[in-house]
Amino acid sequence: MTAEQIAQYLISGAVVGGIYALIALGFVIAFGITRIVNFAQGEFVMLGALAMATLSARGVRAPVAFACSVVSVAAFGALLYRGALQPLTRAPALAVLILTIGASITIRGVALILWGTDPLAVPAFAAGPPVLVAGAVMVRQGFWVLGVAAASFVALWWFFTRTYSGAAVQACAVNPLAARLMGIRVDRVGVLAWLLAAGLGAAAGAVISPITYATYDMGLMLGLKGFVAAVLGGLVSPPAAIAGGFLLGVVESLAAGLVSSAYKDAVAFVVLVLVCLAQVLGALPWRVVEEG
């Protein structure tokens, strides 16, 4: 086992981890404000990737196509919440959860009809040969993935800590009733949260599509991995979700490289089970999803 190999695993893991982190953030924001675990989050990723593929195929330049994909999917996410989920505020949590699973299946089905089963190619944002980092290879699109992830994290941090709307969102996450008494429109904040969550998912899908291609069924696995990352971070803390995403990506890559690639996907789910067990046994220093 050489240092070069380890470096390769770390870099591959970090790029995939950046994607998991973006998706995990979407889970955390939607859950933090609206208390809905959104199992359609992976479909936002898929829609972002397919929109990117369609626009690129029409000759739209990468930055414009990226922006259009993110904005349109974000709007779709907000509409989905406003139209299908907000009316169910008083419904049991399980019913709402099942509704998001239904939404996910529906979105996938419609995408299958609109885009077909064939994977679609997306050109890299910047062409060029891969770059050597510490003896390991990193594709140029990998820098874009990390860049988009970093830019999203900074923008969100700024939004939550430096703007009035961000403070309102946080207030709703902490105590919706008190927030309402302070004159914050909790329902509008919920729509805003879903707008952000869907936009983050779409950004993840659009930026990774040149590496993975865009297919109607790519969302399920990515969504599940993002969910595991979010749970790793406790499902309520954005910085912890980001850390969870990168941790999961790197652990997966190291497991595939050092142990056996046959168990790569299993790693994510074994981690999920371990975290849940640790939570039940009270062995975790942080809380995973407060009991409701």
The answer to whether 19 contacts other proteins (rule: CB under 8 A) is yes
Residue numbers 34-93 binding other proteins by CB under 8 A: none
Among 265, 270, 279, 289, binds other proteins (CB under 8 A): 265
Tell me how crowded residue 220 is: count the other CB atoms within 10 A of its CB: 16
Question: Cβ closer to other proteins: 81 or 227?
Answer: 227
The answer to whether 105 contacts other proteins (rule: CB under 8 A) is no
The nearest distance, CB 107 to other proteins, in angstroms, is 17
In the DSSP assignment, the letter for residue 86 is G
- Helix, strand or coil for residue 116? coil
Question: Distance between CA 69 and CA 47 in Å, rounded?
Answer: 8
E-state strands within the chain: 131-133, 136-138
Q: How many residues bind other proteins (CB under 8 A)?
A: 36
CB 16 within 8 A of CB 268: no
Listed ranges 22-30, 118-126, 159-167, 279-287: which one lies at the site for other proteins (CB under 8 A): 118-126
- Helix, strand or coil for residue 214? strand
The answer to whether 261 contacts other proteins (rule: CB under 8 A) is yes
The nearest distance, CB 78 to other proteins, in angstroms, is 27
The nearest distance, CB 3 to other proteins, in angstroms, is 12
The answer to whether 270 contacts other proteins (rule: CB under 8 A) is no
Among 211, 243, 270, 288, binds other proteins (CB under 8 A): 211
Tell me how crowded residue 63 is: count the other CB atoms within 10 A of its CB: 9
CB 35 within 8 A of CB 189: no
